[in-house]
Chain A
Amino acid sequence: MTDVSIGMPQLPAPDYPADVRERLTEDAREIIARYPDSRSALLPLLHLVQSEEGHVTRTGQRFCAEVLDLTTAEVNAVATFYSMYRRKPSGDYQVGVCTNTLCAVMGGDAIFEELQQHLGVGNSETTEDGKVTLEHIECNAACDFAPVVMVNWEFFDNQTPGSAKQMVDDLRAGREVEPTRGAKLCTFKETARILAGFPDERTGAVAESGGAGPASLAGLRLAKGESAPPRVAPQRSAGADALGADVTAEGAQPPETHPSSHDAPQDTAASDPAHQAGPVTEEDQ
């Protein structure tokens, strides 16, 4: 993809097999019907084609262009603008560690660093078994649960390096993993289908993990006269007092030397190196 080709222009992308195309066309019709103007369906359609192949392929872009009567260039311009659309094959589970300022300071940098070492992959890379793609992500609106890790866009709150390593080990071993807020994990492809606007049909998925996370209730508890300041601990920490427990994982210490944010990811979020979305450093060139 990064090769420079001279001469023959790239041939049009191949089409989906007929049965796949037929099924996706049916879904596309349903998506387009939600909007007064068909082009509004483009973002959900890109989620839809991502749910088919795990990333947005040229074939997927061609499909979007055809059902919306756009050019593939118009679709490509949109597909490359948004960070949730992957441009290369990736794992079943996208593990995103928040390294925006607040989570980074509270421990997100250390978690990201340790996960890279533990999994032997860098930012936006996938483990050899194809299970886990590691990424650093931006603020995900859960700062009162910092440090936060998202897996397939479900919340794993109040993480430590130890809890995060255990979680990726469980994912790779095929053990069931439950988020602190959200439903039992499904694969990245299945998640993309929900994002395309097709509700999660698994029984009980909506109800899983209860009404609100503990930090969300901090003020309400005080207002109701529960005097102890609510302290947030990982929700599934066995044997730990849910309120006020000083919980940290065994051996979950940050790395010995972690001088500054320069250990943190310097590249911008996932994209292929040929199409950088952010500042290009000298090292990149």
Chain B
Amino acid sequence: MNATDSPAKLLTPVLSTFWDQPDAWTLETYRRHDGYEGLRTALAMDPDDVIAYVKEAGLRGRGGAGFPTGMKWQFIPQGDGKPHYLVVNADESEPGTCKDIPLLFANPHSLIEGMVIACHAIRSSHAFIYLRGEVVPVLRRLHEAVREAYAAGYLGKDALGPGKDLELTVHAGAGAYICGEETALLDSLEGRRGQPRLRPPFPAVAGLYACPTVVNNVESIASVPSLMHKGKDWFRSMGSEKSPGFTLYSLSGHVAGPGQYEAPLGVTLRQLLDMSGGMRKGHRLKFWTPGGSSTPMLTEEHLDVPLDYEGVGAAGSMLGTKALQCFDETTCVVRAVTRWTEFYAHESCGKCTPCREGTYWLVQLLRDIEAGKATLADIDKIDDIADTINGKSFCALGDGAAAPIFSSLKHFREEYEQHVNGRGCPFDPAASTVWADKTAHLEVKA
């Protein structure tokens, strides 16, 4: 890829290719765009061959960790006599992350088709979609898409061949970020408080109801149908050797063109900004997250980092959910980090002491720093507390809480010191708002 390439060359709409159709979410529209063709290919193959095929294609999990999808499927023990379950993680709640929700709103059948293929591969007869509850428009369309799929015979009796039925249950959550963590999600789906489980045993061995379970992200599963239909060589023609394929990048914040941009893995933020109009007029990029608030923040010097698993890792962060939240020079880093930390404190499930207590104390100290009531020693203290949380809890929520602290101290320590020495915040929040620079006042009828 070349920085001067046109957007048409750089972008590769696959999942998003017909989102602009007025009835994008219907089965009819989906079928007009090769819908359920991948399933036809997959059902003609032996389940183990499907797993091998997805593995060879190199599809990696799109929910944050980047674990190879085919390998996850392969871990399911076969011939064990237990039911196998597929659970799709649609709990998208990581701050900044906004790809699965528009995907499910506009194209729910890509997920359902991918689920049927996955259930064929892992020999499952019951699959679940765990959707966060706070997105009723998406729930409505999932209900309808599942109804359509049952009526068309993609789900239900003999869906996977004679004598092989497949049930799909749409399950709405009830508001808890922690349920995006796969073992907490399973506890929640079992009707309990969403708290993470100790691993091992991993879900592939003892997941839902202690049976072998695959937990995949929405986008990972939704990427499978086109892969099966168009082939692994086509899939590998995009992205890099270790990070092949296409993915949704979500641009948000102080940018001229916020939105979803589907591109091969490895595109850079500079390329995405160049094609979409850059930062808002008259402002510069100050800091950004590559994949949500739990991925260490980066700065202008990282604009050319390839946005794939290896590239972002080498830059000291993580690709995460490809939630590119861009903040300009009007934004106070301390305010941003404080708010994220309040989020982690609110969402900490309370199971592990370092996370539960640590996030609480971080909030107290950060509020003091932002209000100009702290001392310079408090800056070292938040660093120390973050270190006490990081890597010392069951799940990644604690690590996520530490990431904004570490990375902001690394890049913007002097801004923390300014708050202490200047006895307050030097920034004007009004300058950061979307309407700050606008002079035209048009009447909005809301």
Q: Is B323 an interface residue (CB 8 A)?
A: yes
Is the pair B11, A37 in contact by a Cβ cutoff of 8 Å? no
Q: A102-B95, A144-B251, A217-B19 are in contact. Are A254 and B433 (CB under 8 A)?
A: yes
**Alpha-carbon distance between A251 and B441 when the two chains are bound, in angstroms:** 8
Q: Which of chain B's residues has its CB closest to A142's CB?
A: B98
Q: A78-B192, A105-B327 are in contact. Are A215 and B260 (CB under 8 A)?
A: yes
**Alpha-carbon distance between A147 and B371 when the two chains are bound, in angstroms:** 24
Is the pair B429, A105 in contact by a Cβ cutoff of 8 Å? yes
Is the pair B251, A218 in contact by a Cβ cutoff of 8 Å? yes
Is the pair B263, A102 in contact by a Cβ cutoff of 8 Å? no
Is the pair B136, A154 in contact by a Cβ cutoff of 8 Å? yes
Is the pair A229, B438 in contact by a Cβ cutoff of 8 Å? no
Distance (Å) between the CB of B353 and the closest chain A CB? 15
Q: Is A219 an interface residue (CB 8 A)?
A: yes
Q: A150-B134, A199-B147 are in contact. Are A40 and B252 (CB under 8 A)?
A: no
Q: A106-B433, A211-B106 are in contact. Are A219 and B263 (CB under 8 A)?
A: yes
Q: Residues of A contacting B263 with CB < 8 Å?
A: 219
In B3-25, the 8 Å CB interface with A consists of 7-8, 11-13, 16-17, 19-25
Q: Is B225 an interface residue (CB 8 A)?
A: no
Is the pair A163, B444 in contact by a Cβ cutoff of 8 Å? yes
Q: Is A28 an interface residue (CB 8 A)?
A: no
**Alpha-carbon distance between A251 and B443 when the two chains are bound, in angstroms:** 9
Distance (Å) between the CB of B292 and the closest chain A CB? 9
Q: Which of B21, B134, B169, B293 contacts A140 (CB 8 A)?
A: B134
Q: Which of A107, A245, A261 contacts B339 (CB 8 A)?
A: A261
Q: Residues of A contacting B442 with CB < 8 Å?
A: 237, 239-240, 245-250
Q: A139-B94, A199-B147, A218-B251 are in contact. Are A83 and B176 (CB under 8 A)?
A: yes
Is the pair B261, A219 in contact by a Cβ cutoff of 8 Å? yes
Q: Is B205 an interface residue (CB 8 A)?
A: no
Is the pair A155, B253 in contact by a Cβ cutoff of 8 Å? no
In A230-253, the 8 Å CB interface with B consists of 230-232, 234, 236-240, 245-253
Q: A200-B140, A209-B137, A239-B443 are in contact. Are A78 and B98 (CB under 8 A)?
A: no
Q: Which of chain A's residues has its CB closest to B6's CB?
A: A225
Q: Is A132 an interface residue (CB 8 A)?
A: no
Q: Is A42 an interface residue (CB 8 A)?
A: yes
Q: Residues of A contacting B249 with CB < 8 Å?
A: 219
Q: Residues of B contacting A102 with CB < 8 Å?
A: 95-96, 252-253, 325
Q: Residues of B contacting A253 with CB < 8 Å?
A: 435
Is the pair B343, A139 in contact by a Cβ cutoff of 8 Å? yes
Q: Which of A167, A232, A247, A252 contacts B258 (CB 8 A)?
A: A232
1/0 per residue A213-228: CB within 8 Å of B? 1111111111111000
Q: Which of B53-61, B114-122, B306-314, B328-336 contacts A (4 or more CB under 8 A)?
A: B328-336
Q: Is B415 an interface residue (CB 8 A)?
A: no
Is the pair A211, B446 in contact by a Cβ cutoff of 8 Å? no
Distance (Å) between the CB of A201 and the closest chain B CB? 10
In B360-396, the 8 Å CB interface with A consists of 360, 363-364, 367, 370-371
Number of A interface residues at 8 Å Cβ cutoff, please give it: 120
Q: Residues of A contacting B106 with CB < 8 Å?
A: 211-212, 216
Is the pair B259, A261 in contact by a Cβ cutoff of 8 Å? no
In A45-79, the 8 Å CB interface with B consists of 46-47, 68, 77-78
**Alpha-carbon distance between A249 and B427 when the two chains are bound, in angstroms:** 24
Distance (Å) between the CB of A87 and the closest chain B CB? 13
Distance (Å) between the CB of A49 and the closest chain B CB? 12
Q: Residues of B contacting A37 with CB < 8 Å?
A: 190-191, 209
Distance (Å) between the CB of B151 and the closest chain A CB? 13
Is the pair A146, B346 in contact by a Cβ cutoff of 8 Å? no
Output the residue of A77, A145, A216, A224 with the most chain B CB within 10 A.
Answer: A216
**Alpha-carbon distance between A83 and B194 when the two chains are bound, in angstroms:** 12
**Alpha-carbon distance between A202 and B170 when the two chains are bound, in angstroms:** 19
Is the pair A219, B435 in contact by a Cβ cutoff of 8 Å? no
Distance (Å) between the CB of B62 and the closest chain A CB? 14
Q: A183-B140, A211-B19 are in contact. Are A238 and B346 (CB under 8 A)?
A: no
Q: Which of B259, B345, B346 contacts A215 (CB 8 A)?
A: B259
Output the residue of A150, A155, A179, A239 with the most chain B CB within 10 A.
Answer: A155
Distance (Å) between the CB of B140 and the closest chain A CB? 5
Q: Is B105 an interface residue (CB 8 A)?
A: yes
Q: Is B445 an interface residue (CB 8 A)?
A: yes
Output the residue of B19, B144, B177, B261 with the most chain A CB within 10 A.
Answer: B19
1/0 per residue B204-217: CB within 8 Å of A? 00000100000000
**Alpha-carbon distance between A44 and B173 when the two chains are bound, in angstroms:** 8
Distance (Å) between the CB of A189 and the closest chain B CB? 13
Output the residue of B16, B136, B147 with the most chain A CB within 10 A.
Answer: B136
Q: A37-B209, A144-B258 are in contact. Are A78 and B325 (CB under 8 A)?
A: no
Q: Residues of B contacting A46 with CB < 8 Å?
A: 174
**Alpha-carbon distance between A18 and B262 when the two chains are bound, in angstroms:** 54
Output the residue of B258, B293, B346, B349 with the most chain A CB within 10 A.
Answer: B258
Distance (Å) between the CB of B357 and the closest chain A CB? 10
Q: Is B193 an interface residue (CB 8 A)?
A: yes
Is the pair B98, A40 in contact by a Cβ cutoff of 8 Å? no
Is the pair B7, A210 in contact by a Cβ cutoff of 8 Å? no
Q: Residues of A contacting B439 with CB < 8 Å?
A: 246
1/0 per residue B268-288: CB within 8 Å of A? 000000011100000000000
Q: Is A268 an interface residue (CB 8 A)?
A: yes
Is the pair A42, B191 in contact by a Cβ cutoff of 8 Å? yes
**Alpha-carbon distance between A25 and B83 when the two chains are bound, in angstroms:** 28
Is the pair B340, A101 in contact by a Cβ cutoff of 8 Å? yes
In A163-181, the 8 Å CB interface with B consists of 163-164, 166-167, 170, 179, 181
Is the pair A152, B136 in contact by a Cβ cutoff of 8 Å? yes
Is the pair B135, A141 in contact by a Cβ cutoff of 8 Å? yes
What are 13 pairs between A and B in contact, CB < 8 Å? A36-B209, A81-B194, A85-B174, A105-B336, A106-B253, A143-B250, A146-B252, A182-B140, A219-B16, A223-B7, A237-B444, A246-B442, A269-B346
Given contacts A158-B434, A237-B442, 10 further A-B contacts (CB under 8 A): A39-B191, A105-B331, A106-B434, A199-B140, A223-B12, A230-B276, A237-B444, A246-B440, A250-B442, A279-B360
A-B CB proximity, top 6 nearest: A218-B259, A229-B277, A211-B24, A219-B261, A42-B191, A82-B174
Interface residues of A (CB under 8 A from B): 34-37, 39-44, 46-47, 68, 77-78, 81-85, 99-102, 104-107, 109-110, 137-147, 150, 152-156, 158-160, 162-164, 166-167, 170, 179, 181-183, 191, 194-197, 199-200, 205-207, 209-225, 229-232, 234, 236-240, 245-254, 258-262, 264, 266, 268-269, 277-279, 281
